[in-house]
Copies of this chain bind each other. A is one copy, B any other.
Amino acid sequence: MTLLYLLDLLGTIAFAISGALAGVKKDMDLYGISVLSLVTAVGGGTIRDLLVGRIPPFIFRDYNYIVLSLLSALIVFFFYRKVERGYNTLLIMDALGLGVFTVIGVKVGIDYNIGYIGSIFMGVMTGTVGGMIRDILQGEIPLVLKKEVYASASIIGGVVFLILFKSIGESYLTIITAILVVFLLRLLAIRKNWNLPKPRI
């Protein structure tokens, strides 16, 4: 499906740029920036593929993901200031990427017959694990575990996808609706500064 693929590549660029920016902030060199770019963009999907037994993982079946990630790293390397100034655009692309990655992850889960819970799991993993590895490589506790509505937007979108998939099948409508749910929830969360509850201790 062409539209989904194009959105997937767009999301890959957004995630790769966020990884590269993190690398620059941590005083990494060109190699480190490239590695952070790559793991942020493709880390979640790669671990997902390992878990369902899709070997070799998608990054070795279609090199566009690796190439786009490394190009994004180069762009951040040479135009750091300009990229940073486009931070708001990046947040929007990242929200879109989260939606697309979620949908692709859930679809992989369904294709490999690992059940409903497992498919949601794969969607959230595709959308969030790359960013978690980025944060760990930066020496920080993953942000997604501490604040903001990020993984939760992915979970809700994954559930929406599953429900529509079961009722009307894998149509454009199913895919676009689920992506939009994640995308809008995430943008609303940023705008309204939504956070998940923390325990009262």
Residues of A in contact with B (beta carbons under 8 Å apart): 23-24, 26-33, 35-36, 46, 50-53, 55-57, 59-60, 63, 66-67, 76-78, 80-81, 112, 114-115, 117-118, 121, 132, 136-142, 144-147, 151-152, 195-201
Question: How far does the alpha carbon of A199 sit from the alpha carbon of B22 in the complex, in Å?
Answer: 12
Whole-angstrom distance between the Cβ of A125 and the nearest chain B Cβ: 10
Q: Which residues of B contact A197 (CB under 8 A)?
A: 29-30
A24–B118 touching, CB < 8 Å: no
A199–B139 touching, CB < 8 Å: no
Question: How far does the alpha carbon of A151 sit from the alpha carbon of B35 in the complex, in Å?
Answer: 10
Q: Which of B31, B55, B59, B112 is in CB contact (< 8 Å) with A56?
A: B112
Question: How far does the alpha carbon of A198 sit from the alpha carbon of B31 in the complex, in Å?
Answer: 9
Question: How far does the alpha carbon of A76 sit from the alpha carbon of B201 in the complex, in Å?
Answer: 10
Question: How far does the alpha carbon of A165 sit from the alpha carbon of B114 in the complex, in Å?
Answer: 33
Q: Which of B57, B63, B117 is in CB contact (< 8 Å) with A51?
A: B57
B56–A199 touching, CB < 8 Å: no
Known: A115-B63, A138-B141. A147 touches B201 (CB 8 A): no
A76–B145 touching, CB < 8 Å: no
Whole-angstrom distance between the Cβ of A142 and the nearest chain B Cβ: 6
Q: A35-B151, A136-B137 are in contact. List 10 more A-B contacts (CB 8 A).
A: A23-B145, A29-B197, A30-B199, A32-B144, A32-B145, A50-B51, A56-B112, A63-B115, A63-B117, A80-B201
B53–A55 touching, CB < 8 Å: yes
18 contacts between A and B (CB under 8 A): A24-B199, A26-B141, A29-B146, A30-B197, A30-B198, A31-B144, A31-B152, A32-B144, A35-B145, A50-B50, A51-B56, A51-B57, A53-B56, A56-B114, A60-B118, A60-B121, A80-B200, A81-B201
